[in-house]
Amino acid sequence: MREVGGIANPSLTECGGRRRKRTGFASAPYVWVLVTAALILGLCLVFVLFLATEPSRVYATLRNGGASTLEDLILTFTGGSNSFPSLPADTWVRVGVDVAGESSLEIDFTDSDGHRHVRDLDVYIEPGY
């Protein structure tokens, strides 16, 4: 322990005739480790909160209950559409629908006889609804 100005100061040591402050837990490398860890934890928290508050996604299930394959199937909604080259008989597909605003769904397909069909599905969806 070294006395400085009549007061004992245990944080100072003598090194080659110079006074040097001891390094401890709060030295520069440890501070950077703590700051980095705090930033990483903060970013993780922001990411988790983002996932928790992100609007839920709407899914549509398209099922072909007929005896023949549907061709050129298109599901249209505000802000986009999803298309499928074919949907075989007695099969289904689940697709995410990301609408840009208030929307309904429209399905468009060609049957096995080559006739084009367009149907407006009686639904109402909106983002985060």
DSSP output for 2-54: EEETTEEETTEEEETTEEEEPP-TTSHHHHHHHHHHHHHHHHHHHHHHHHHHS
Residue percentage of the chain with pLDDT more than 90 = 23
* Per-residue pLDDT at 118 exceeds 90: yes
b vs e for 79-109, b when ≥16 Cβ sit within 10 Å of the residue's Cβ?
A: eeebeeeebeeeeeeeeebebeeebebebeb
CATH number (domain holding residue 71): 2.60.40.2890
The string of pLDDT tens digits covering residues 47-73 is: 777 666 555 678 888 999 888 999 999
Are 44 and 82 within one domain? no
The total number of structural domains that make up the chain: 2
* Per-residue pLDDT at 20 exceeds 60: no
Task: Quickly state the pLDDT bin for 106 (edges 50, 70, 90).
Answer: very high
pTM of the model: 0.55
Are 75 and 92 within one domain? yes
Are 40 and 81 within one domain? no
Question: What pLDDT was estimated at residue 44?
Answer: 76
CA 8/CA 64 separation, integer angstroms: 88
Domain of 64 in residue numbering reads as: 58-125
